[in-house]
Structure 1
Amino acid sequence: MAPVGVIAMNLMNIVKRTMQPEPWAEGEKIPWDEPGFSGRMLKYHLSQDHDMASRRFKIIDMHVSFIDGLVEGPRKVLDLACGPGLYASRFTSLGYKVRGIDFGPASIEYARGQAEKSGQEIDYVLEDMRTADYGEGYGLVLFVFGEFNVFRRGDIAAVLRKAYDSLAEGGVFVTEPHTFDAVKAIGEAPKSWYSGEGELFMEGPHLALMECFWNEEQRVAINRYIILDAETSEVTLHSSTMPAYTNDEYVKLFKEAGFSEVDFHDSLTGEDEGRNDELLVIVARK
């Protein structure tokens, strides 16, 4: 039986697939919370050869140094979509009290194990940030690397309100959403494929077919991943939808959540070095 959020298919389903899927009709997002997928994703998080899932450690070090200088409130951090704790552990080393929330089981298990090894007290929570208890009194809420755009518009508005409520007065929310043009480019990317094993979507030998769609009316990019198991010929479908926002729409979202100041920065290093043209850096203060 296919995991929740995964659609089982056969080869004829591929041929007769919907050529212009509706947003979210084929799935909420790729299966971050599925144990096997989460375990394979962890390898991408920890790799020092690329910045695909998490940044390399030297870049994270620069980010933490810059973000630390933004904090004017209590030395207490909420790290949303914390992954394997690469930011959380560094803020803890600077004297912050940290709670990290993620629903990838392998990432949380790894983060907890690293904290235990190093003797750090970090509250890692395995839960969906849409439903998790955030706590309160934070000087910083952190939500980095494009995760902002994987949520429905209503869900991200609710996350922003929860983040605002969790901050102490003068606390700051730091995030990296995609630019409007970056999301549109994702939706307009050409079809592609690969064959291999030990990759993100499957451990065994498989063929992966990817196609993307841009929905101009709803201004969302839809990513479809069709995975063919080379040993069993079983086919599974994963899909994710990414809403696009203009800079003015981002400001409106934050203002509606209650934030009094909303500023844009060049990068999380505060300089052009480390700049990613596909991502914005938004710093919003309560």
Structure 2
Amino acid sequence: MFEALEKINQRPEPFQFYTASDLWTDDHTSKQMLSFHLNAAIDVSSRNAAFIDRSVNWIADRFNVDAGIDIVDFGCGPGLYAQRLARRGANVTGIDFSIRSIEYAQNAAARERFNIRYLNQNYLEFATERRFDLVLMIMCDFCALSPMQRKGLLNKFHEILNPGGQVLLDVYSLSAFEKRKETATVEANQLDGFWSPDRYYGFVNTFKYEREKVVLDKYTIVEAQRTRTIYNWLQYFAPEALEREFLDAGFFVEGFYSDVAGTPYDPQSEEFATVARKEEN
């Protein structure tokens, strides 16, 4: 028992483990995540519906979204952005890890008779001959990736964009990083049964890595028949650090905002968004 507790409370190296598939492809947890996506009043898996409407209105104006524009949404979930953009005439491709979210999105698109192309796969492995005018990556997904994964993804964005194509993504700020604290808790059926339909104990260890500006929420789920660990990594950014990653991938940053709805940039905001453009040859 002591050794098990020692392992639960052990601090790994930053981004040492990658367990995204355990969260998004598990039958039970993917069902919980989809229910959060579809709750229009909360900001959990997706933003609330009112914010998404405001965000799509701004995206449509900022990027001149109209018939014929080609957009790809990395981490599209159940298609909340994709459908709204398709309604404006955009050709949309959505990519997501969760088959449950993709199936919901496909059914919703069929009901609306939208020709949206949805792909169920890890977007880190996405490859295509198609070229796009705009890449979206919303809900701070970029922060969950290691430096090497981010580098590979930005290179992928550069490859699949048309000359002059743009990227819109959001990240957590250093202001948010400063508010995070190291904690260790245990609770029966932690998060109201989110992790399993059966009884379990959920251990949550939050580790801060000051030099790297990274936070890990490490979830250890102990059930009667198994124990599993989910690593939720979050990279926090200064605007200069995010811009440097884009510059290294062949982009130039056009501007920063406090969110993906175009709110003017505030250094105290806990999140911020950036628009970057692929340099034209």
**Bin of the TM-score, shorter chain as denominator length:** 0.7 to 0.9
* Residue 153 (1) aligns with residue 147 (2): yes
In 1, are the aligned partners of 2:169 and 2:260 still within 8 Å (CA)? no
**Equivalent residue number for residue 26 of structure 2:** 34
In the alignment, which of 260, 264, 267 is matched to residue 268 of structure 1?
260
In the alignment, which of 195, 198, 210 is matched to residue 216 of structure 1?
210
In the alignment, which of 241, 245, 258 is matched to residue 250 of structure 2?
258
**Equivalent residue number for residue 55 of structure 1:** 47
The structure-2 alpha-carbon separation of the partners of 1:167 and 1:16, relative to structure 1 and needing over 3 Å to count, comes to: closer
Q: What secondary structure sits across from 2:172 in the alignment?
A: coil
In the alignment, which of 79, 83, 88 is matched to residue 85 of structure 1?
79
Deviation string, structure 1 residues 31-77 (Cα, Å, up to 9, x no partner) = 22223321221111111231111012221111001011121585111
* Residue 226 (1) aligns with residue 220 (2): yes
**Equivalent residue number for residue 134 of structure 2:** 140
In 1, are the aligned partners of 2:41 and 2:49 still within 8 Å (CA)? no
Q: How much does 1:157 deviate? A: 1.3
**Equivalent residue number for residue 184 of structure 2:** 191
The structure-2 alpha-carbon separation of the partners of 1:17 and 1:200, relative to structure 1 and needing over 3 Å to count, comes to: closer
Q: How much does 1:24 deviate? A: 3.3
**Equivalent residue number for residue 278 of structure 1:** 270
In 2, are the aligned partners of 1:79 and 1:142 still within 8 Å (CA)? yes
In 2, are the aligned partners of 1:72 and 1:170 still within 8 Å (CA)? no
- Distance between the aligned counterparts of 2:204 and 2:46, measured in 1? 22
Could you tell me which amino acid in structure 2 is paired with residue 143 of structure 1?
M
In 1, are the aligned partners of 2:95 and 2:120 still within 8 Å (CA)? yes
In 2, are the aligned partners of 1:76 and 1:98 still within 8 Å (CA)? yes
Deviates more, 1:92-101 or 1:135-144: 135-144
The structure-2 alpha-carbon separation of the partners of 1:71 and 1:49, relative to structure 1 and needing over 3 Å to count, comes to: closer
In 1, are the aligned partners of 2:96 and 2:122 still within 8 Å (CA)? yes
Could you tell me which amino acid in structure 2 is paired with residue 20 of structure 1?
R
* Residue 100 (1) aligns with residue 94 (2): yes
TM-score in terms of structure 1 length: 0.85
Q: How much does 1:258 deviate? A: 1.1
The structure-2 alpha-carbon separation of the partners of 1:163 and 1:251, relative to structure 1 and needing over 3 Å to count, comes to: same
**Equivalent residue number for residue 6 of structure 1:** none
- Distance between the aligned counterparts of 1:97 and 1:27, measured in 2? 32
**Equivalent residue number for residue 15 of structure 2:** 24
In 2, are the aligned partners of 1:254 and 1:284 still within 8 Å (CA)? yes
Could you tell me which amino acid in structure 2 is paired with residue 283 of structure 1?
V
**Equivalent residue number for residue 178 of structure 1:** 172
**Equivalent residue number for residue 3 of structure 1:** none
* Residue 64 (1) aligns with residue 56 (2): yes
- Distance between the aligned counterparts of 2:26 and 2:226, measured in 1? 18
Q: How much does 1:16 deviate? A: 4.8
* Identity score, percent: 24
Q: Which runs of 5+ in 2 are unaligned?
A: none
- Distance between the aligned counterparts of 1:126 and 1:250, measured in 2? 28
**Equivalent residue number for residue 120 of structure 1:** 114
The structure-2 alpha-carbon separation of the partners of 1:165 and 1:35, relative to structure 1 and needing over 3 Å to count, comes to: same
Structure with the bigger percentage of helix: 2
Deviation string, structure 1 residues 176-227 (Cα, Å, up to 9, x no partner) = 11113424544x3423344348633222333322111112344321221122
Could you tell me which amino acid in structure 1 is paired with residue 92 of structure 2?
V
- Distance between the aligned counterparts of 1:72 and 1:139, measured in 2? 10
- Distance between the aligned counterparts of 1:215 and 1:269, measured in 2? 30
- Distance between the aligned counterparts of 2:243 and 2:125, measured in 1? 24
- Distance between the aligned counterparts of 1:176 and 1:276, measured in 2? 15
TM-score in terms of structure 2 length: 0.87
The structure-2 alpha-carbon separation of the partners of 1:82 and 1:254, relative to structure 1 and needing over 3 Å to count, comes to: same
Deviation string, structure 1 residues 213-266 (Cα, Å, up to 9, x no partner) = 11234432122112233xx26432211322333211111111111113331013
Indicate the structure whose relative CO is greater, using CA pairs within 8 Å and at least 6 residues apart: 1
**Equivalent residue number for residue 203 of structure 1:** 197
Deviation string, structure 1 residues 114-163 (Cα, Å, up to 9, x no partner) = 11122111100011111112443322111011111111111111111111
**Equivalent residue number for residue 7 of structure 1:** none
Q: What secondary structure sits across from 1:58 in the alignment?
A: helix
- Distance between the aligned counterparts of 2:260 and 2:15, measured in 1? 31
